[in-house]
A and B are shown apart, each in its own frame.
Chain A
Amino acid sequence: MTQHLSPPATGCRSTPILKERGQREVFCGLTGIIWLHRKMQDAFFLVVGSRTCAHLLQSAAGVMIFAEPRFATAILEESDLAGLNDAHAELDRTVTELLARRPDIRQLFLVGSCPSEVIKLDLGRAAERLTMQHAPKVRVLNYSGSGIETTFTEGEDACLASMVPVLPKTDARELLVVGALPDVVEDQMLALLDGLGIGPVRLLPARHIDTETAVGPNTVFALVQPFLGETHAALVRRGATHLAAPFPFGDEGTTAWLAAIAREFGVSDETFRAVTEAPRRRARQAIAQASETLNGKSVFFFPDSQLEIPLARFLARECGMTPIEVGSPYIHDALHGPDLDLLPSGPTISEGQDVDKQLDRCRAARPDLTICGLGLANPLEAEGLSTKWAIELVFTPVHFYEQAGDLAGLFARPLKRRAVLEAAV
Chain B
Amino acid sequence: MKLTVWTYEGPPHVGAMRVATAMKGLHYVLHAPQGDTYADLLFTMIERRDHRPPVTYTTFQARDLGADTAGLFRTACQDAYDRFQPEAIIVGASCTAELIQDDPGGLAETMGLPIPVIALDLPSYQRKENFGADETFFQIVRHLAKPCDRTERISCNLLGATALGFRHRDDVAEITNLLYEMGIEVNVAAPLGATPSDIARMGAAHFNVLLYPETGELAARHLEKTFGQPYTKVVPIGVGATRDFIAEIRALSGSTATLDTNPLRQTWWTRSVDSTYLTGKRVFIFGDGTHAMAAARIARDEMGFEVVGLGCYNREYARPVRAMAKDMGLEALITDDYLEVERAIEAAQPEMILGTQMERHIGKRLGIPCAVISAPVHVQDFPARYSPQMGFEGANVMFDTLIHPLVMGLEEHLLHMFREDFEFHDAAGPSHHGGHAPKPTEQTQTPVSEPESVTTGDVVWLHDAERELRKIPFFVRGKARRNTEAFASGRGLSEISVDTLYEAKAHYAR
Contact = CB atoms under 8 A, between A and B. Distances in A.
Contacts of B33: 28, 114, 146-148
A155 to B, nearest CB: 10
Contact of A59 (B38, B95, B126): B38
Nearest to A356: B83
A65 to B, nearest CB: 6
Contacts of A80: 1
A148 B123 CA distance: 21
A78 interface: yes
B44 A379 contact: yes
Contacts of A119: 99
B51 A379 contact: yes
Interface stretch (A164-172, A178-186, A370-378): A370-378
Contact of B5 (A28, A69, A94, A376): A69
Interface string B89-122: 0000011100110000000000000000000000
Given A378-B44, A379-B51, 10 more contacts: A22-B59, A24-B34, A28-B35, A52-B14, A55-B14, A58-B6, A59-B38, A118-B96, A148-B61, A151-B34
Given A151-B34, A374-B45, A375-B52, A55 B11 contact: yes
B124 interface: yes
Interface residues of B, number: 53
Given A148-B61, A149-B62, A56 B95 contact: no
A26 B361 CA distance: 29
Interface in A59-95: 59-60, 63, 65-66, 69, 71-78, 80-81, 87, 90-91, 93-94
- Which label, helix, strand, loop or mixed, suits the secondary structure of the A interface? helix
22 contacts: A23-B76, A24-B34, A24-B37, A50-B124, A51-B4, A72-B3, A80-B1, A93-B1, A94-B3, A114-B33, A115-B99, A118-B100, A146-B35, A147-B35, A148-B65, A151-B34, A373-B41, A375-B44, A378-B50, A379-B44, A379-B50, A382-B51
A52 B5 contact: no
Which 9 pairs show the lowest CB-CB distances between chains A and B?
Answer: A28-B35, A147-B35, A375-B40, A382-B50, A114-B96, A374-B41, A50-B95, A147-B33, A147-B34
B266 interface: no
Contacts, number: 174
B99 A75 contact: no
A24 B38 CA distance: 11
A81 B99 contact: yes
A54 interface: yes
Interface string B62-81: 10110000000000100100
B5 A74 contact: no
Give the one of B7, B49, B94 with max A CB within 10 A.
B7
A374 B59 CA distance: 17
Give the one of B35, B48, B61, B100 with max A CB within 10 A.
B35
B34 A72 contact: no
B57 interface: yes
Interface string B480-508: 00000000000000000000000000000
Contacts of A321: none
Nearest to A25: B37
A119 B95 CA distance: 12
Interface residues of A, number: 61
A381 B48 CA distance: 11
Contact of B361 (A50, A66, A77): A66
Nearest to A374: B41
A341 interface: no
A77 B4 CA distance: 12
A63 B6 CA distance: 11
Interface string B8-32: 0111011000000000000000000
B72 to A, nearest CB: 9
Contacts of B35: 26-30, 56, 114, 146-147, 151
A260 interface: no
A52 B52 contact: no
A8 B364 CA distance: 55
Contacts of A48: 1
Given A23-B76, A52-B95, A78-B125, A73 B50 contact: no
Contacts of A51: 4, 7, 9-11, 95, 124, 128
B78 to A, nearest CB: 12
B225 interface: no
Interface in A368-398: 373-379, 381-382
B7 A54 contact: yes
Nearest to B124: A50
Contacts of B60: 148
A52 to B, nearest CB: 4
A395 to B, nearest CB: 15
B58 interface: yes
B36 interface: yes
Nearest to B12: A51
A356 B76 CA distance: 11
Contact of B125 (A26, A77, A114, A373): A77
Contact of B11 (A23, A52, A381): A52
Given A28-B33, A51-B10, A55-B14, A148 B62 contact: yes
Nearest to B125: A78
Contacts of A419: none
A374 B38 CA distance: 9
Contacts of A22: 59, 79
Interface in B198-243: none
A94 B1 contact: yes
A97 B1 CA distance: 12
A281 B45 CA distance: 38
B77 to A, nearest CB: 12
Contacts of B96: 50, 52, 114-115, 118, 147-148
Contacts of A78: 123, 125-126
A356 B79 CA distance: 10
Nearest to A80: B1
Contacts of B324: none
Contact of B4 (A66, A75, A81): A75
A27 B3 CA distance: 22
Contacts of A90: 1
Contacts of A25: 37, 40
A377 B4 contact: no
B1 A91 contact: yes
Given A54-B7, A115-B95, A26 B34 contact: yes
B165 to A, nearest CB: 17
Nearest to B57: A23
A58 B76 CA distance: 28
Interface in A91-134: 91, 93-94, 97-98, 114-115, 117-119
B330 interface: no
A291 B304 CA distance: 60
Nearest to B49: A378
Nearest to A354: B79
Contacts of B39: 55, 59
Given A28-B33, A76-B125, A90-B1, A59 B41 contact: yes
B408 interface: no
Contacts of B56: 23
Contacts of B79: 22, 356
B6 A65 contact: yes
B27 to A, nearest CB: 12
B38 A27 contact: yes
B153 interface: no
Contacts of B144: none
A45 to B, nearest CB: 11
Contact of A378 (B6, B45, B128): B45
Contacts of A87: 1
B11 to A, nearest CB: 4
Contacts of A63: 361
B102 to A, nearest CB: 12
